A = this chain, B = another copy of it.
Amino acid sequence: MRVSRLFGRTLRAAPAEAEHAGHQLVLRAGLARQIQAGSFALLPLGMAALRRIEAIMHEELAAIDGQEFRTPIVQAATSWQRSGRYADYGPLMLRAEDRSGRALVIAPTHEEAVAELAAHEITSYRQLPQIIYQIHTKYRDEGRAKGGLMRLREFTMLDAYSLGADTASLDQAYEALAGAFTRIFARCGLDVVAVEASAGEMGGGEPREYMALSASGEDTLVLCDACGYAANSEVAERTASDGCVRCNAPLRLARGVEIGHIFKLGTRFSQALGANYLGVDGAEHPIVMGSYGIGLERMLQIIVEQHADAQGIAWPQAVAPLDVQLLRLGQGEDVRAAAEAAYADLCSAGLRVLYDDREETAGVKFNDADLLGLPLRVVISERLLKLGQVELKRRGGAAHTVAREQLVAAALQPT
């Protein structure tokens, strides 16, 4: 990909409304652009990082036999009336009417749709347990959409659902999903704490939130360094006013952002929507459900926030939108030809390269490379070319030169 033709430009300074580091970097690096309050377009670099996060999610869900499916976003209000949440959700749920006056919902979550679908597809205990998931768009008409990708109205969610015959099966699925979520966060380079949480409108048991520690966080976490106890302050305040509920050691407060949430739903939705299976005993039983979600754009912004320095982003290798930023410094024919050749060679070696082919100064190109923060920077300059050399620099590391013909081998070396 050539920077000259990249859709999405870098900004020298972040707009004034971007208060927090992650939000500023998302805008300055051209990962996403605000369209309306709470409504962002993902630009190619942001979209590429999102796709890498998705790929990790697909792998980890497949490892626990998760099956990808997809339910519509625009849903009939009748499903939500059956579960009772059509009234519960209030103004957070966007509603519409179709051409014949039928009430519709732009779905904020998909428990109703899953229960309805399970009622069609599951008939016998022999088919259970199952884990199904999708990575798709959700909509919540947030009153205070702000913070860049932190609190969007429209966002992408990994939403997984477990379907089981009994609570033992639910417990197993809950642990399997919790394990998958932990591995997803670790592989994406995220520093996350699992905390006790409240269930909100979802209901169900053992709600657990995955909180990323972040100065931009709207939640307060109560953490015990002595025994590892962690809870959202909404929950913790009720049980602990001065010391840890488990070990009575002093508690520490920290700011956090929820990036995932898991629930043992039980049979609330399957009973309301008729999702039953025929048991070994020959009788009908409601399917025991769990619900497990991660917000992707929010996760993307927190990754950027947690992996940055004063110059810009320092992407974790696993989710970097591209591998290499290749800089051409100088306008001569020789350096142009050398840079084009390096671009072709690096691409042929399977590396994903962002090639800064613009007629800009070295200063502009170095600043943009630091801002975009791809794992490896390669410089082709007139000065180095006379020495038969190119320069390599890992983001955050020191620059070193190698002979031109060693470029691909050096670029492929693990960090």
Binding site for B on A (CB under 8 A): 1, 4-9, 30, 33, 35-36, 39-44, 47-48, 50-51, 65, 67-76, 91, 94-96, 98-99, 104, 106, 113, 116-117, 120-123, 126-130, 132, 136-137, 139, 141, 143, 153-154, 358-359
The 6 closest A-B pairs by CB, nearest first: A96-B96, A44-B67, A42-B70, A91-B99, A72-B154, A41-B71
Beyond A127-B4, A137-B137, whether A76 also contacts B36 by CB under 8 A is yes
Contacting residues, chain B, for A127 (C-beta < 8 A): 4-5
* Total copies of this chain within the assembly: 2
Is the beta-carbon distance between B121 and A39 smaller than 8 angstroms? no
Q: Which residue of B lies closest to A6 (CB)?
A: B67
Contacting residues, chain B, for A42 (C-beta < 8 A): 69-70
Contacting residues, chain B, for A8 (C-beta < 8 A): 69, 121
Beyond A9-B123, A35-B71, A35-B117, whether A96 also contacts B106 by CB under 8 A is yes
Is the beta-carbon distance between A99 and B143 smaller than 8 angstroms? yes
Is the beta-carbon distance between B74 and A139 smaller than 8 angstroms? yes
Q: Which residue of B lies closest to A3 (CB)?
A: B127
State the CA gap A73–B139 with chains docked (Å): 9
Beyond A9-B121, A106-B106, whether A72 also contacts B41 by CB under 8 A is yes
Beyond A99-B143, A130-B5, A137-B137, whether A121 also contacts B69 by CB under 8 A is no
State the CA gap A33–B104 with chains docked (Å): 19
Q: Which residue of B lies closest to A78 (CB)?
A: B36
State the CA gap A47–B117 with chains docked (Å): 15
Contacting residues, chain B, for A121 (C-beta < 8 A): 7-9, 30, 33, 43
Is the beta-carbon distance between B99 and A141 smaller than 8 angstroms? yes
State the CA gap A377–B52 with chains docked (Å): 33
Beyond A74-B139, A94-B96, A154-B73, whether A67 also contacts B7 by CB under 8 A is yes
